[in-house]
Structure 1
Amino acid sequence: MNAHQPAQTSAEWFKSSYSSNNGACVEASRSEHGMAFRDSKNAAGPSLAFSAATARSFIDGVKTGQFTPSS
C-alpha cells in the first residue's frame, strides 16, 4: 500500500458503486500498477494505492462481507 499526497490528479476517478448518496463516497482510479482510492469530499487530499492483486483481494473481501462488523 502506498499513500499519495496529493491525490493523483491526472488519473480518471470514478465513484464506487458501493458509495451511498449521503456524502460518504469513495472514488477509485485504475492504472497499469493497480488501483487507488480517495475520499470524494477531499479530491485534493491523499489517496491510497494498491497493487492489482491487493486491490482485487480487498474488493472480494468487501463483496463477501469480510469487513462487516459483527453485531
Structure 2
Amino acid sequence: MDIQWRKSSYSEQAGNCLELAVVDGHVLVRESDEPDVVVRTTRANLAAFLAGAKAGEFDELL
C-alpha cells in the first residue's frame, strides 16, 4: 500500500516534523525522523486534539 504522507508547511524542511495520512478512514501520524513509529487515530480524536491545541491547552509543553 502506497501511503500519501503530508506535512505542514510550518515544518522544517530538514526533518523534525509530524506527517499525517488517511488510510481506511483512520488518521496515521508519524515523525519524519522515525517513520517506522506510527500512531493511528480517528478523525474525531484528531479534531478534538487540534481544537485543544488551538485553544492553548498544551502551550506549557512548548
Instruction: Give me the TM-score of the superposition, normalised by structure 2.
Output: 0.73
User: Structure 2: any 5+ residue segments left out of the alignment?
Assistant: none
Q: CA deviation at 1:21?
A: 4.9
Count of equivalent residues: 61
How many angstroms apart in 2 are the aligned matches of 1:21 and 1:13?
14
Which of 6, 26, 35 aligns to 1:14? It is 6
Partner of 1:56: 47
Tell me which amino acid in the other structure corresponds to 1:61. G
Residues 16-56 of structure 1: CA distance to partner in whole angstroms, max 9, x if unpaired? Answer: 3453456431111123423111011122x111010111011
Asked if structure 2 preserves the Cα contact closer than 8 Å seen for 1:38 and 1:47, the reply is yes
- The residue identity in structure 1 corresponding to 2:54 is K
- Structure 1 stretches lacking a partner, 5+ long: 1-8
Determine which structure has the larger strand proportion and give its number: 2
In structure 2, give the amino acid aligned to 1:48: V
* Identity, % of aligned positions: 28
* Larger deviation, residues 26-35 vs 47-56: 26-35
Local SS of the residue matching 1:56: helix
